[in-house]
Structure formats: structure tokens, C-alpha cells
Structure 1
Amino acid sequence: MKTVKQVMVALKKKGDAQTRKTYARHGAPEKMFGVKVADMKVIAKQIKGNQDLAYELFDTGNCDARYLAGLVADGSLMTRSRLNQWARDADWTMVSDWTVAWVASENVAGTDLALKWMKAKKESIASSGWATYSSIVSTIADEELDFAEIRMLLKTVATDVHSQPDRVRVGMNRFVIAVGTFVAPLTKQAKTTAKKIGKVTADMGDTACKIPVALAYIEKNEKMGRIGRKRAAAKC
């Protein structure tokens, strides 16, 4: 597969009604085929490294194609302008909180963009900001992280989380978990923040999704010996 048309045909063939129904319950707009993530990964392997094709896939506006674009694109090669465009255009949680966060976290400007997006009035962009920083702390070596900045963000979560829109609350909660799990020197402060915020609630729509209690999640990872063990890559 070398063209966006060929990839779209392949995606359409893999789409099914049940997956479309599931994605719709999770807030996906109508422009989708309903392709399982496992099937998208198979297609991604066939076109990996084709940066221009990834851009074309995202620009189709199709949900499946946009998620696939995130799997294929090398975020380190993307311009700030394009990353900002992807954040603005993301119209589904799987795109704003995963696709956009993945590629932004791979970019040298990732931290700056995350901080900028966190302040956005648009809920999906702010959510992308928190998701991006979560991806950064989960993959970047501790010595390359700005601990003072992360501490300030934890304080922001402690004071502001319950007054934020649903998706931002979820993103902030995930950030606390990410810091507590992947940044061992800050696990103690992350747990303190987790205790302060307690259980975070949000409208998850007609889904079975549950928001994890940050403190319990971090403590579970402690018991399993996972603290400080970085992920090889943000994409999954």
C-alpha cells in the first residue's frame, strides 16, 4: 500500500458494525469504518515510515485513519505547526489523548506544546496537553525531565482537578498516575497529590469505562515492582 486511497480501502474492509457501535459509545463521530486497533496495527506495519502518507491519513478526517496516522507518523519529524493542527482537529478522545499525545511526546517541542495545550479553553486540546506530558514522563529518562515543573503541575492538579471539564479531569488523574509510576524520585509527591484529589469522577457516557483511583493505582504498581520502569515507546 502506497497511497491514501489504498489504505482507506484496506481500513474499510476491516471495519465492522460492532466496532462502529463501540466507538460511537466512546464519542467517535460518524466518519469512521470501525476498525479494531489490532487490525490497524497490522496495516501500520505495512506503511510504517511513510510520513507523508500518515499526514494524508490524518487529513481525511476519518477516525480510524487518524488513529492509524498516529501509529505510523514519526513525531520527531513533525513541525510545531502540524502538531498544533492535529491537536486542534482531533475530534475524538482516542485521537486527542492518544494519537496527538504520542507524536507530540516524540518531538523536541513536546513539553512546550503540552504546557501550552493544558491552558487551552477547548477541552480536547487541554486534554491533549495532559496526555502528552503523561507520555513524556513515561518514556523520557528522569535526568531529562524538569522535576520542578512536574512538581508545579502536581500542585495544579491538587488544587484544580475537580473544577475542570470531564476530559481534563481524566487527563489530570492519569498524569498523577504516570508521574507516580514512571518517575521514582517524584512517586512520594504524586501519592500525596493522589491522596488530596481522592476519587475523580467524570461523565464517561454509555460505556463501562472507569476512572482509576490514582493512589490505589500507584500503590498497586509499587507492589508489582513497576515504579521507575520506563516504557520503550508511548505508542501502543
Structure 2
Amino acid sequence: MNFEMVMQELEALGKERLKKMYLANGAREPLFGVATGEMKPLFKKTKLNQPLAEQLYATGNYDAMYFAGIIAEPNSMTEADYDRWLDSAYFYMLSDYVVAVTLSEADIAQEVADKWIASGEDLRMSAGWSCYCWLLGSRPDREFSVDKLAKMLEQVKDTIHEAPERTKYAMNQFIYTVATSYLPLHEEAVAAAKAVCPVEVKQDKGKSKFLNALETIHKAEARGKLGFKRKHVRC
């Protein structure tokens, strides 16, 4: 399938209800409102295709950008490529669920995510922490340094309440993911959750949302989900 054919299929799959939901979450025009599950049959027609992914991502169309992440070839992308993609990721559903997800399947994932975490920019930091969540939830424990992750937990514990708003979500998720998917630091993550909960996130119109990693950890534990690893990160 070529670029024009993919765009036509995405447009045909669009639903007004989903379009409104995406817009309410921060997406902007252009977009069609395609359910992510609807993209799986389309992927079978395109397979992995980095040149096509680049064409789609460059459109600025949310659905095309999302599908670009599905068909991208993570190890064919350089650090500069990931930075370029993140520069165009204008809200968290792109930074955390497209760019960070794609990066998590690349060999350079930790190296790039570390730089994003240190950037001081909200969506970059959020993408960096989110990438670690995808990594921890899918890769064997042996691929990580326990000392490094322990220091990252301490960083979250010490800075989460002063972090930018979107980064708070990703940091909170990092605590949860370490507790549930990286068992060597389960107790330390539970202690971090106790220390920081609840985490207040300020939303539009002055409203606040309160995040509670400890509560979600306990729920995962009750469902027997400790040690959970995904077979695949991307759909």
C-alpha cells in the first residue's frame, strides 16, 4: 500500500465520536478519529515500512501519526530521528503512546530516554519516563541496572510534586511499573508510592486530579499481576 491508499483507508475508518474524544484529550485537526484496534488489519497490508511511516508522521494528522508508530522500524531510526518525531508530538498521546512506544523497541531506548528525562521539557520528560514504563513492562529484568532504576525511583520520590503536570503522570506510572514489572525493586517502589501519594495534577479550568500509585499497585497485586511482561509493546 502507498501513502495515498493508507490515508484513504484511515479516513474511511474514522468515527466522529472518537474524533471528538481525541480532540477533548488534546488532539487537533487534522484527524479522522480512528480506533487503534481498527489499525491492526491495515498493518497486515503495510507491514513494517519506515519510509511510509515517515510520510505519514509528517502529515500532522493524529491518526496517520499514530499509525506511523505502528509501522515504523525502531532500530532504523537514529537519536536525531526520535528527537525530530518528538518535536512534532504536540500532546501526550503522541509523545507517550507513539514516540515513546516506538523508541522502547529500539536498542538505543534507554540512552535516548535518559536524555529526554534530563531535558526539563514537559512532553520530553513525560516521553522519557513513559519509555521506561514500556521497557520495564516488556523486557527481561536482566536488561536493566538495578542501581540505576533505584536512583530513578529516588529521583521520582524527590521531584514528582514539583514536576510539570504531564510528567507527573509518567513518573507516577513509573513507580507503578517498577513495582509490578521489575520485582527486584518491588519493595522500594511500594515505599516510593507511600512517600509521594497522593500526587496532585492540575488540569484545565483549575481542576485537580489526584494520582495514587499505591492503590493501583495493590489492585495489580490482588489480580496476581506482579511480574507482568507484555509480549509486544506496539499493537
TM-score range, shorter chain: over 0.9
The alignment partner of 1:83 has SS state of: helix
Q: Distance in 2 between matches of 1:43 and 1:99?
A: 17
Question: Which runs of at least 4 in structure 1 moved beyond 2 Å after TM superposition?
Answer: 203-206
Aligned residue for 2:120, secondary structure, equals coil
Cα distance in 2 for residues equivalent to 1:74 and 1:227: 30
Unaligned runs of 5+ in 1: none
Identity of aligned residues (%): 33
Q: Distance in 1 between matches of 2:210 and 2:145?
A: 27
Equivalent residue number for residue 17 of structure 2: 18
**Structure 1, residues 157-211: CA drift from partner, whole Å, max 9, x if none?**
10110111110000100111111110011110000000011022224559xxx76
Look up the equivalent residue of 1:215 and give its one-letter code.
Answer: L
Q: Contact 1:15/1:34 (CA < 8 Å) preserved in 2? A: yes
> 1:120·1:126 contact (CA, 8 Å) conserved in 2?
yes
1:27-176 → structure 2 map (5 Å cutoff): 27-176=26-175
Alignment of 1:229 with 2:228, yes or no, is yes
Distance 1:232 1:212 in 2: 27
Once the two structures are superposed, what CA deviation does each residue of 1:125-154 show, in whole Å capped at 9, x if it has no partner? 111111111111111111111111111110
Partners of 1:221 and 1:227 within 8 A in 2:
yes
Aligned residues: CA RMSD: 1.6
Structure 2 unpaired stretches of 5+ = none
Query: How far is 1:229 from its partner?
Result: 2.4
TM-score normalised by L of structure 2: 0.93
Please give the secondary structure, in 2, of the residue aligned with 1:121. coil
Q: Residue 177 of structure 1 corresponds to which residue in structure 2?
A: 176
**Structure 1-normalised TM-score?**
0.93
> 2 CA distance for matches of 1:198 and 1:40?
37
CA contact (8 A) 1:26 1:205 kept: no
**1:226–1:44 Cα change, 3 Å:** same
Distance in 1 separating the partners of 2:140 and 2:222: 22
How does 1:180-195 map onto structure 2 within 5 Å?
A: 180-195=179-194
> CA 1:211 to 1:107, structure 2 compared with 1: closer, same or farther past 3 Å?
farther
Report the residue type matching 1:171 in the other structure: A
What one-letter code is carried by the residue in structure 2 that aligns with 1:94?
M
Aligned to 2:213: 214
> How many residues were matched structurally?
232
Q: Once structures 1 and 2 are overlaid, which stretch shifts more, 53-62 or 164-173?
A: 53-62
Q: Supply the distance in 2 between the matched residues of 1:117 and 1:219 (Cα, whole angstroms).
A: 30
